[in-house]
Structure 1
Amino acid sequence: MLCALRLGPVRIGQLGRVIPGASKKVLTQILRKFESENIVVRIDLSDLVLHVEYQLHQEVRESVEQLLDHVSKWGASFMALQGKASALKERM
């Protein structure tokens, strides 16, 4: 869910498509919990039609981006090591 939110404001229906099988009720409960813990911001854009979006707090978004950057770098290093190990096995 945090990965989907890091790209910018999203509606609950969009989150439901990203997380198949999650009910709207459960997503709403999670988002309310995140909002109470200052992880997400609820943006009420309602005029005549109910329109609510959620986005990560700036500090949380930066933290998630740093975490994903580290995981990505680790993954690249791991894949490089796997390639080297495979090359060594082939030589033997």
Structure 2
Amino acid sequence: METDVFLADCPARTTLDLVAGTWPVVVVFALREGPLRYGELLDRIGGISKKVLTQTLRRLEGSGLVRRRAIRSAPPGAEYSLTDLGESLLEPVTVLARWAEQHAEQVAAVRDGVP
């Protein structure tokens, strides 16, 4: 199937929309080293609210990028990990994250009008 992201009904646009935001990229990047419980993800990802983390995990799970495994414990919990499809996203996400880290100050300076 041929795709063209310039076409309004291109399926690739839906996929880009899924992974183009800050939180999906950060969650995928956080899961790169292996499964994490919900609380561990919340602690690891500074600035994300419980509501946004839950929405992001559900969206990634619903798209086949993240797997949720219920854990029978007291209290009950869940563990999240990347699926094979989610792992295939790690290379581009890692490149994007590294680029953002390397150029964050430069982008902020330009945005703030600093020459």
Instruction: Give the TM-score band, short-chain normalised.
Output: 0.5 to 0.7
Q: Structure 2, unaligned stretches of length 5 or more?
A: 1-26, 100-115
Is there any run of 5+ residues in structure 1 with no aligned partner, and where?
76-92
Q: Percent identical across equivalent pairs?
A: 37
| SS in structure 1 of the partner of residue 88 of structure 2 | helix
1:23 matches 2:46:
no
**Match for 1:56 among 61, 82, 88?**
82
1:6 and 2:29 matched: no
* Alpha-carbon distance in 2 for matches of 1:13, 1:48: 14
Query: Does structure 1 retain, via aligned residues, the 8 Å contact 2:28–2:86?
Result: no
CA–CA distance in structure 2, aligned partners of residues 17 and 48 of structure 1: 19
Name 1:40's counterpart in structure 2: 66
Q: Deviations over 1:50-88 (max 9, x none)?
A: 120010112321331x333xx39x97xxxxxxxxxxxxx
Report which of the two structures shows the higher radius of gyration computed on alpha carbons: 1
Give the RMSD, CA atoms, in angstroms.
Answer: 2.2
State the 4+ residue runs in structure 1 displaced beyond 3 angstroms: none
Amino acid at match of 1:18: R
Higher relative contact order (CA closer than 8 Å, sequence separation 6+): 1
How many residue pairs end up in the alignment?
Answer: 71
- Given that residues 41 and 54 in structure 1 are in contact (C-alpha distance below 8 angstroms), is that contact kept between their aligned partners in structure 2? yes
In the superposition, the TM-score normalised over structure 1's length comes to: 0.64
Partner SS, residue 41 of structure 1: strand
Provide the C-alpha distance between the structure 1 equivalents of 2:87 and 2:58, rounded to a whole number of angstroms. Answer: 17
**What CA deviation, in whole Å up to 9, does each residue of 1:15-64 have, x standing for no partner?**
11222221112111110111111110001122553120010112321331
